[in-house]
C-alpha cells in the first residue's frame, strides 16, 4: 500500500476511536477505582467477602457505573460498534494486523468479564473487571498514540506560500519504470504549458512521490493548479464516459473546436480572471499540448484519484478493459500540434 492509503486506514481507525467515546468514558471511570483496589487485594483473595472494605469497593464500582450514565446496555453497544469498526478495517489491505487483532481479542475478553460482573457483582469479579479495564485502556491509548505519531510524521511539509496550492494525483494501475517516467513528465508538461499560457513564472515542486502504482503530491501556483485540476478532471471524465459496450474508448475529435468543448480551457481561464480575448492562437495550441499530455497520463488507468475526487470507469467497465486489453487514450496525435501551429 502507498503511504496515503495507509494514512486513510489510520484515519478510519482514529475515527473509530473518536466514535467510541462512551467506551473510553466507562473504562476511565472503572479505572479510577484501581488505587482503592490495590488496598483490598489481599482481603479479596483471602475470601473475606463480607468485610466492610469489600462491600464499600463493590458499591463504589456500581455507583460509578450508574452515575456517569454508562449503563451496561450502552457500554456493550459501544464495544460492539468499536469491534465492528476494527474488523472492517482488518478487511483492508494492511499487511500487519497484529495490533488490530490484539485489540479485537482484548475487547472480546473485556466483554465477557463485564458480563460476568453484571451477572454476579461479587468482589472477585469486580477485581477482575478493574484489572481488565486497566489493561484494555493501556493497550488502546498506546496504540492511538502510535497512530497519531505516524500521521504527524508521514505528512509532507507544505511550502510557505500565499499563492501556492497542493495537487495530489493517484493512478491505480501498476506501472513499469518507463511508464512511470512518462506520466511524471506529462504532469510537468501540463503545468508548464499552463504557466506559459497564463504568463505565470512559478516552478512545480514535488512534495511526495511513491511508485508501484503512482501517487504524486505536487505544489505550485494556486491559479495554475486550479486550472490543471479542472483540465485533468475534464479529460478523464470524457474518456471514462465514452467507454463503449465493445470495450473501447471513443477518441476525442481532433478539431480544435471539439477540444475546447471537452476541456473548456477558455472557460476555465476566464473563471480564473484571465483575459482570453487576444489569446486564441495560444489557447488552441495549448489545448492540443495539454490533451497530448493527458493522453499519456490517463493511458492504461481505469481509475484516477485527483485530490479527494475519485474518477473511475466502474467495475464492469474495468473488467471489459482487462479482457480487451484496450489502452485508455485521448484521441490526439502529433499531427494536431502541427495543425494548430
User: What pLDDT does residue 259 have?
Assistant: 77
Q: Give the alpha-carbon dihedral of 172, 176, 179, 180, to 10 degrees.
A: 70
Residues 163, 168, 170: CA angle, nearest 5 degrees? 165
User: What pLDDT does residue 329 have?
Assistant: 55
Cβ atoms of residues 258 and 229 within 8 Å:
no
Cβ atoms of residues 263 and 285 within 8 Å:
no
Cβ atoms of residues 195 and 290 within 8 Å:
no
User: What pLDDT does residue 117 have?
Assistant: 85
68/24 Cα distance (integer angstroms): 12
User: What pLDDT does residue 33 have?
Assistant: 73
Q: What is the pLDDT of residues 309-322, one digit of tens each?
A: 888 877 556 665 65
User: What pLDDT does residue 339 have?
Assistant: 47
Q: What is the pLDDT of residues 13-60, one digit of tens each?
A: 999 999 999 999 989 888 877 655 555 555 555 454 455 666 666 666
In the beta sheet, which residues pair with residue 210? Answer: 215
User: What pLDDT does residue 289 have?
Assistant: 87
Helix (H) or strand (E) holding 9: helix 3-19
pTM of model > 0.75 = no
Residue stretches of the chain with pLDDT short of 70: 34-69, 123, 156-157, 243-255, 315-341
SS3 143: helix
User: What pLDDT does residue 94 have?
Assistant: 85
Amino acid at each position: 500500500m502507498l503511504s496515503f492509503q495507509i494514512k486513510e486506514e489510520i484515519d478510519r481507525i482514529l475515527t473509530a476511536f473518536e466514535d467510541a467515546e462512551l467506551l473510553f468514558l466507562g473504562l476511565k471511570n472503572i479505572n479510577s477505582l484501581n488505587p482503592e483496589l490495590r488496598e483490598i487485594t489481599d482481603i479479596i483473595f483471602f475470601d473475606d467477602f463480607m468485610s466492610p472494605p469489600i462491600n464499600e469497593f463493590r458499591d463504589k464500582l456500581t455507583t460509578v457505573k450508574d452515575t456517569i450514565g454508562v449503563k451496561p446496555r450502552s457500554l456493550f453497544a459501544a464495544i460492539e460498534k468499536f469491534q465492528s469498526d476494527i474488523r472492517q478495517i482488518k478487511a483492508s489491505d494492511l499487511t500487519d494486523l497484529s495490533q488490530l487483532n490484539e485489540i479485537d481479542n482484548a475487547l472480546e475478553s473485556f466483554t465477557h468479564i463485564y458480563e460476568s460482573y453484571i451477572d454476579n457483582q461479587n468482589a472477585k469479579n469486580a477485581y477482575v473487571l478493574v484489572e481488565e479495564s486497566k489493561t484494555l485502556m493501556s493497550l488502546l491509548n498506546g496504540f492511538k498514540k502510535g497512530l497519531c505519531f505516524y500521521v504527524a510524521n508521514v505528512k509532507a511539509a507544505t511550502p510557505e506560500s500565499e499563492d501556492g496550492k497542493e495537487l495530489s494525483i493517484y493512478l491505480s494501475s501498476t506501472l513499469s519504470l518507463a511508464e512511470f517516467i512518462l506520466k511524471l513528465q506529462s504532469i510537468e508538461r501540463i503545468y508548464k504549458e499552463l504557466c506559459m499560457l497564463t504568463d505565470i513564472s512559478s516552478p512545480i515542486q514535488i512534495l511526495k512521490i511513491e511508485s508501484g502504482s503512482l501517487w504524486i503530491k505536487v505544489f505550485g501556483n494556486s491559479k495554475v493548479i486550479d486550472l490543471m485540476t479542472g483540465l485533468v478532471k475534464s479529460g478523464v471524465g470524457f474518456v471514462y464516459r465514452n467507454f463503449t459496450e465493445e470495450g473501447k474508448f471513443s477518441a476525442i475529435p481532433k478539431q480544435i473546436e471539439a477540444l475546447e468543448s471537452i476541456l473548456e480551457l477558455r472557460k476555465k481561464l476566464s473563471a480564473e480572471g484571465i483575459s482570453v480575448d487576444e489569446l486564441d492562437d495560444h489557447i488552441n495550441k495549448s489545448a492540443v499540448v495539454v490533451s497530448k499530455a493527458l493522453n499519456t497520463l490517463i493511458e492504461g488507468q481505469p481509475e484516477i484519484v485527483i485530490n479527494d475526487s475519485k474518477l473511475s470507469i466502474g467495475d464492469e467497465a474495468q473488467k471489459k478493459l482487462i479482457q480487451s486489453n484496450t489502452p485508455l487514450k485521448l484521441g490526439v496525435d502529433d499531427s494536431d500540434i502541427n495543425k494548430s501551429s
